[in-house]
Copies of this chain bind each other. A is one copy, B any other.
Amino acid sequence: MEKKRRTEIAELGEFGLIDLLTKGFDPADASTLRAAGDDAAVVMPPSGEAVLCSTDALLEGIDFDLTYFPLRHLGYKAVTVAASDILAMNALPSQLMVSLGVSSKLSVEALQELYEGIAFACREQGIDLVGGDTKASMTGLVLGLTALGHAPKEKVVSRGGAQQNDLICISGNLGAAYMGLRLLEREKRVLADVKDPEPKFAGYEYLLEKYLKPRLRKDIVEALAEEGIVPTSMIDLSDGLSSDLMQICKASKCGARIYLDRIPIARQTYALAEELNADPVVAALNGGEDHELLFTVPLALQEQVMRMGCVDVIGHITPESTGVYLVTPDGADIRLKAQGFPEKE
């Protein structure tokens, strides 16, 4: 293996490092009045529009394991994690701020890789990097992320607007990111003492990509706008379908029924689940980190939603008193819980 050059962060200093990392990030969005290099970013939303703001933290050892998470992918994923919350309000993300806590075990070159991933995702999604903060960390890499977006007030969608009989829709498929993580953890365990480890990922590339480099579902929010559909409620699928659907039901004061055989699960998710003797439905319900969108629309829009092509209708909203249930193909009702395996009643 080629030996990479290693520059210590101390050689550059804090200001030199920030200059190096943020070089070439030129603002492109019309709402960005002032970007990196001041005390705060300045955003001017189009007249009459509201500004949306969301924050996330990604912590080493909790959200990512640097033994198998390439820094370039981590940078890319950080943008998806942060900006996905703006999409979930039915708005497009336009700015991103990154606060970094870096341990001295990381070299300048490693941080440049992280920023290459951030830059790539930002360019791909039309997001401006408008600032942040870089400092030392005693305790592993810490990423603090703030995403901004803007939208007309009446287009902003909360979690709390789902109405009885609304259709429950999701983009993409569920459980793949979780199975990707399981695969990485297995290979790490198996190859822990091997000198030149060669992990076996063949046939599961899609799962790895869903975990390491999840795409932002900007296309869904754009497609909804094209169809003229404003969802009644929406949330980013980050904690797992079960937990996130319950958030919508709690905020909207309603119940829900979703149908197991309508939950889209990828072929590779089924295959790896079988190999690991795991339940693909549990991965879909509780795995999390899918970063797909879960939303509700009035029943009358069924045809229009189906026409979008990239969305599945998996159930409908019920009165609050009936609770939140998963219906199996044999007609059994399973009450959903925010976390953990669903219990049969």
A131 to B57, CA, bound (A): 13
Query: What's the tally of chain A residues with a CB closer than 8 Å to chain B?
Result: 66
Closest B residue, CB atoms, query A95: B53
- State the main secondary structure of chain A at its contact with B: strand
- Tell me the smallest distance from the CB of A39 to a CB of chain B, in Å: 4
Whether the Cβ atoms of B42 and A99 lie closer than 8 Å is: no
Whether the Cβ atoms of A158 and B43 lie closer than 8 Å is: no
Given contacts A39-B159, A45-B45, contact A146 B146 (CB under 8 A): yes
Whether the Cβ atoms of A146 and B42 lie closer than 8 Å is: no
With a cutoff of 8 Å between Cβ atoms, the chain B residues found around residue A48 in the complex are: 47
User: A54 in the interface, Cβ–Cβ < 8 Å?
Assistant: yes
With a cutoff of 8 Å between Cβ atoms, the chain B residues found around residue A153 in the complex are: 33, 42, 44
Closest B residue, CB atoms, query A48: B47
Whether the Cβ atoms of A55 and B89 lie closer than 8 Å is: no
Instruction: Give the contacts of A75-128 with B (CB-CB under 8 A).
Output: 85-86, 88-89, 91, 95, 97-101
- Tell me the smallest distance from the CB of A317 to a CB of chain B, in Å: 18
Closest B residue, CB atoms, query A247: B15
Q: Which of B13, B47, B139 contacts A59 (CB 8 A)?
A: B139
Whether the Cβ atoms of A42 and B50 lie closer than 8 Å is: yes
A140 to B101, CA, bound (A): 13
Interface string of A235-250 (1 = CB under 8 A from B): 1100000000000000
Given contacts A39-B88, A89-B40, contact A137 B59 (CB under 8 A): yes
User: A60 in the interface, Cβ–Cβ < 8 Å?
Assistant: yes
User: A132 in the interface, Cβ–Cβ < 8 Å?
Assistant: yes
User: A142 in the interface, Cβ–Cβ < 8 Å?
Assistant: yes
Closest B residue, CB atoms, query A61: B138
With a cutoff of 8 Å between Cβ atoms, the chain B residues found around residue A50 in the complex are: 33, 42-44
Q: Please, could you name 17 A-B residue pairs with CB atoms under 8 Å apart, sorted by A?
A: A33-B50, A33-B156, A37-B159, A39-B54, A40-B53, A40-B91, A41-B53, A43-B52, A51-B51, A55-B146, A57-B133, A59-B135, A59-B137, A62-B136, A138-B140, A139-B139, A146-B146
